[in-house]
Structure 1
């Protein structure tokens, strides 16, 4: 059965765009959840939140650019049952990572279309209007319904940062490293604050750079190497002159 559903309007004056969404019916008449669902999330509250989400997504995609077994997204609706669809009780994590998933673009994450996979890691960005829900109802949802192995939250303005690991069905606070970072067993990485931003670190504690940061680091290293070679050459030339040898006469 094919049904026409409206995508979320892009503005108050925009007309809804209708697309075909497929409602599957088995030979026995059993109806399956619809497919091709669009995300239905509210706009982000501040520039801090949008930039932080984009930063973590860009970093992980860059660091794992040679991998095709994960999916990371942000502010994207996760559909997990038909009751949720009827109630419009959508839960879109600010950032989530699913391991063992195909790395491709999606309109939303529908559990029944993804082999029953829920996120391995969820990160929520706190704000004055969402902090109570993120620390309460959402934490309960991720613990009791989604069974997300690791849940983190971070406030881009106050720098509040915490993480929890699902142990025996209950979230237990993740112990920080000596450097104050929180290790992720699911991703074999660490999360920590750097220059007032939440960033990924390697398991060895090294900051994972953005592509432009990596280019600057490579350029800086090349300049340092060139400076060291120049200084070594000058020291040798000065030594030769002190011994009465003209360096320019040496082949």
Structure 2
């Protein structure tokens, strides 16, 4: 509830508005909403941002958290949201700190991502059930109305492929403009693994990637990436990469050690060969001197010998 002073002071002074009453809002219902693939995909979009330090803090990356943009009515719940320049409160005991209330954070999220798991998610158009329930706006319409800069829809199982929806694409991305959303992706969307959709305002891209995540089975995933399409690693991938790099460094150091040892051995062999040559030359000199001495003892001048 917003309470204004009876004689409001000029704008810029304190205590114009006190804390909003949000006791009527349902901010958590403990209802499981997603399947295995969606749950894994949500974590694959959140965890790398938190473990890789690819973004300058503070920022908030969260999955399946209510986005409250008005005091009355239900929130919208993106599968994943990213908001730059904000951070969670230290204490979650207060209700106003447990969901994404736009008026608390002072801004809407920068990116909202929807992962299609069935034909009733209202990602792009309202499904028949939602129309029967009286809903009037799809998620895309709502995100556009509240000004979320980037809206992303990933349809890994090709659940919504109508002409007004994904229309053959696996991934489509929109950016906000003065007239609403304009599509960043081409009219046919993204259908190929490795194609990059760059989000300039975030400094990151999105790409389709195929590989294993937390299991040995290779699947299709949506990943954050850099301009060159290199995916932002998870903490486990980063550790594996560091281990691999450390192992490569160890192998390189061992190869250098072996090469140095071989050089040392070769140098020692050269030294020994030179020593042997020196000893042989010395032996030959001594033998020659003994022969010359013997010849002189016999009255023969060795210098006059032919």
Same fold by TM-score, threshold 0.5 exceeded? yes
For residues 38-53 of structure 1, the aligned pairs below 5 Å read 39-40=27-28, 42-53=31-42
The aligned residue for residue 142 of structure 1 is: 143
> Which of 228, 241, 248 is the matching residue for 1:224?
248
Q: Distance in 2 between matches of 1:239 and 1:100?
A: 57
> Which of 63, 66, 85 is the matching residue for 1:77?
66
> Which of 164, 174, 180 is the matching residue for 2:184?
174
TM-align CA RMSD:
3.2
Checking the alignment, whether the CA contact within 8 Å between 1:53 and 1:94 is kept in structure 2 is yes
Structure whose CA Rg is larger: 2
Aligned residues: 218
The aligned residue for residue 131 of structure 2 is: none
Which one is further off, 47-56 or 23-32? Answer: 23-32
> Which of 48, 66, 69 is the matching residue for 1:59?
48
* Shift in alpha-carbon separation, 1:32–1:129, aligned structure 2, 3 A: farther
Determine helix, strand or coil for the equivalent of 2:146: coil
* Shift in alpha-carbon separation, 1:215–1:186, aligned structure 2, 3 A: same
Q: Distance in 1 between matches of 2:233 and 2:265?
A: 45
Q: Larger helix proportion, structure 1 or 2?
A: 2
Deviation at 1:246, TM superposition (A): 8.3
Q: Larger strand proportion, structure 1 or 2?
A: 1
* Shift in alpha-carbon separation, 1:239–1:102, aligned structure 2, 3 A: closer
* Shift in alpha-carbon separation, 1:244–1:50, aligned structure 2, 3 A: same
Structure 2 spans left out of the alignment, 5+ residues: 8-16, 126-137, 159-168, 212-219, 272-306
Determine helix, strand or coil for the equivalent of 2:72: helix
Deviation at 1:114, TM superposition (A): 2.5
Checking the alignment, whether the CA contact within 8 Å between 1:68 and 1:103 is kept in structure 2 is no
Does residue 124 (structure 1) correspond to residue 142 (structure 2)? The answer is: no
The aligned residue for residue 161 of structure 1 is: 171
The aligned residue for residue 151 of structure 2 is: 151
Q: Deviations over 1:62-111 (max 9, x none)?
A: 23388443222221111222332xxxx33111111122223446311222
* Shift in alpha-carbon separation, 1:114–1:38, aligned structure 2, 3 A: farther
Determine helix, strand or coil for the equivalent of 1:82: coil
The aligned residue for residue 11 of structure 1 is: none
Deviation at 1:238, TM superposition (A): 4.0
Q: Distance in 1 between matches of 2:260 and 2:243?
A: 26
Q: Distance in 2 between matches of 1:118 and 1:234?
A: 59
Q: Deviations over 1:9-48 (max 9, x none)?
A: xxxxxxxxxxxxxx45333399974246552465223011
Deviation at 1:227, TM superposition (A): 1.5
* Shift in alpha-carbon separation, 1:154–1:71, aligned structure 2, 3 A: same
Determine helix, strand or coil for the equivalent of 2:82: strand
TM-score normalised to structure 2 length? 0.61
The aligned residue for residue 299 of structure 2 is: none
